[in-house]
Structure 1
Amino acid sequence: MNDGGQRRYGPLGKALVIIPTYNEAENIEPIVARVRAAVPEAHVLVADDNSPDGTGKLADELAAQDDQVHVLHRKGKEGLGAAYLAGFRWGIEHDYGVLVEMDADGSHQPEELPRLLTALKGADLVLGSRWVPGGRIVNWPKYREYISRGGSTYSRLLLGVPIRDVTGGFRAFRRETLEGLGLDEVASAGYCFQVDLARRAVASGFHVVEVPITFVERERGDSKMSNDILVEALWRVTAWGVESRANKLLGRKP
């Protein structure tokens, strides 16, 4: 984690919780309700990738009933990173001061959002972490834990990023942080998108804080994890690591 030093942070501004969806019809209503109950002042943006199961239509119905719920309809399934980037741009255009990443399946518990937002008062980026003291996982098979822990450890060591849960996707950003990360240059679409943003934040000198969370395996619907996503993450992280070491040897800025 970066040292925030004596920096003074301004007020957070209004928060937008971005929830990307693809075939989450079973989960979208309960997760939005839980977010609205946990942080009533926050707004919700459902970024739906044209889900065949009608998730987008259900989100529209929620938005019609609650003016703090919004829907961003996308043309199709383009990956988690692309959905978040679209959500970030929408949030920045609509003048939100805090932008939050959160899964739709209940793995990220909305009841823990206040902890992330409180920590953001003294940070540029807050990560909900499974692998710091106090963090834990519930109902995950061991092979998933090994993959996640191994991926975070590999990324941390190869990239020199002092973050324990570098692959986690429960995050709260200040608007200014996102604006300083060069989002137009982010090309990663899958779960390595999270690694990409974390390494950019550290390289840019932003103060990154991890807070413990309890990660719960989804109860409804299907996981979007696949071998293709894991392969993309592995080769991209390796390429970034090689590039970073080459830059250091040649005295170039990252």
Structure 2
Amino acid sequence: MESLLWKAIINGYANNHHILIALQSQKDGAIHEYASVPGYRLSAASIVKVAILAQLLHNTSGNLNSYQQELARKMIQNSDNNAADILVDRYLGGTSNMQAIYYALGMTQTTPGQGNHWARTLTTATDQLKLLNEIFSNPHSSYLNDQSREYIKSLMSSVSADQRWGISAGSSQYYLKNGWSAFSAPWTWYVNSIGFIPQGNNGYSIAVLTDNNLPMSVGVNIIESIARFSKNYI
């Protein structure tokens, strides 16, 4: 039912978008998903920064030095690309080495970015739920310790004002990371949003990925329409 209703929302926009949606209820673990083209993958853009931080915390058992903490804060709260570059290149050994976290979390539809650039990582909304589950819904995670999980939550709950859009629409409480990129002419945008909505006992993880947005605001509007509906559906 929810996929039919998501499709009805999407049909209100131009039909040249690829749109991937996945939502997981914290209450019963049920996963709801929709893909406008089954099996399609999209560029992650800056939502991959959550995986960058998760892998860094895993590698360090949650013990980041002050410089790493400052880079992590900028990367998540402000979506600072330079901070992400430094963390990936200096501390993870390059984008290709991020295959380790995808393998560990069973993210079989996610592959490191082409040309060793993290923004070009290919993924699906359903795979993003596997990462979100480790942070928000799996207190016995073997990949992230409690200290690491709480650290990610603290950053995703305090993004800067210009980052507060996407899956957070219609909710006063949220954990959030957005991504947006236009890689080549005609400069259409990938616009993505992932996170967690702590809705009492009905909290849920959600990921929405879109492409072919011109201007970027089209993708934002699509994601926020889906987010508002999904909040009521759960």
Structure of higher CA gyration radius:
1
Q: Give yes or no for TM over 0.5.
A: no
Q: Calculate the TM-score normalised by the size of structure 2.
A: 0.27
Q: Calculate the TM-score normalised by the size of structure 1.
A: 0.26
